[in-house]
Amino acid sequence: MQTLDRLNRTFAIDGHAVFEEREPGMLRLQLSSPESTATVYLQGAHVTQWTPRGADPVLYLSPAAVFAPGKAIRGGVPVLFPWFGPRWNGAAFDAAHGTRSPAHGFARTSVWTVDSVRCEADGDVVACLSLAPDEVSRGLGFDDFALVLECRVGHELQVALHVTNRGAAPLEYEEGLHAYFAVADVHPARLDGLGGSTYLDKRDGSTRKVLHDGPFAFTRDVDHTHLHTDAALKLHDPSGHRVVDIVKTGSLSTVIWNPWTVLTPGFADLPADGWQHFVCIETVNADENRLRLEPGATHTLAMTVRVKTVRVKTA
């Protein structure tokens, strides 16, 4: 059993890693490197904060987020496994098993185990958490996987999800690092890297479309699953005077999401103006990019984030 005391006795590193319980039943790990700080909740192995020294937080965390056992946290980097959005065979599975498959899978609401916390020679702090099958996953038909989430905090944030198939049959799954990036104002924000890519427009019945060339502007609610793309992305946030670089590995889908004014009222854990202050840019394998992992094989999905401040020219 991972109690606060035991976690601190086993893994705390003076000045670099400490466990806390700010909300009842919600243990979290505070990481601190010379270059940045981060917070990781054990529920979901969920990074809720990453802040380079002297900068504003790079990840958006909803001021109305709910921190309670079993509830998904709105913001940061939710880890999605073994399906993205609604389960692809959800209706059939649920009917056959008399159960209900939660949106985005069970990983984000499961409590992960802390395996290690370490400081590297270059000052980076690295935490590894794991998730093994339990009653919940077995009830949903997933009995033979091993997940490891590795979070590296330094001048970059690196989040890697390693999935291993421990079973005798192929493991089919979807996965995602559903990152919420903070922007000072979404209106002038632009996203580079998806021009010309094919996507499913979920706001239009998942119609298949091709994105125009050049930067993408956020002008309304958006929910795109871009397919067959491993392109690096650049989020320009002129009001925040910064550019965020997002590099993906082991990912062929990129999801972009913003609920705008239209959908925000449907989210009790988002404030009315929340949509103006984030865009989700998600490192994913979903839909046509769903994975099939052979017995014994491991796949790694990873996202690396870097921030550059853009100087404001003064006359």
- The verdict on whether 282 is a catalytic residue reads yes
Question: Would you say 293 and 163 are in contact if contact means Cβ atoms under 8 Å apart?
Answer: yes
Separation CA 189–CA 295 (nearest Å): 43
Q: What is the nearest approach in angstroms of ligand G6P to the Cβ of residue 129?
A: 20
85 vs 193, which CB is nearer to ligand G6P?
85
Q: What is the nearest approach in angstroms of ligand G6P to the Cβ of residue 166?
A: 27
What distances in angstroms separate CA 95 from CA 61, 89, 102, 136, 315, one per listed residue? 35, 10, 14, 17, 66
| Binding site residues, ligand G6P, CB under 6 A | 72, 85, 103-104, 202, 223, 255, 257, 280, 282
List, in sequence order, every residue forming a beta bridge with 37; answer none if it has no partner.
Answer: 32, 51
Give the residue carrying structure tokens 């959908």.
Answer: 263
**One of 150, 156, 175, 282 is an active-site residue; which one?**
282
Give the residue carrying structure tokens 């998806």.
Answer: 194
Q: What is the nearest approach in angstroms of ligand G6P to the Cβ of residue 76?
A: 11
Q: What is the nearest approach in angstroms of ligand G6P to the Cβ of residue 154?
A: 27
71 vs 162, which CB is nearer to ligand G6P?
71
142 vs 257, which CB is nearer to ligand G6P?
257
Residue nearest to ligand G6P (CB): 257
10 vs 207, which CB is nearer to ligand G6P?
207
Q: What is the nearest approach in angstroms of ligand G6P to the Cβ of residue 202?
A: 5
Separation CA 89–CA 19 (nearest Å): 38
244 vs 286, which CB is nearer to ligand G6P?
286
- Residue 65, phi then psi, degrees to nearest 5: -60, 145
User: Virtual CA dihedral for 187, 189, 195, 198, nearest 10 degrees?
Assistant: -60
Question: Would you say 213 and 244 are in contact if contact means Cβ atoms under 8 Å apart?
Answer: no
**One of 46, 178, 226, 236 is an active-site residue; which one?**
178
Q: How many CB atoms lie within 10 A of CB 307?
A: 22
Q: How many CB atoms lie within 10 A of CB 45?
A: 30
Residues with catalytic function: 178, 282
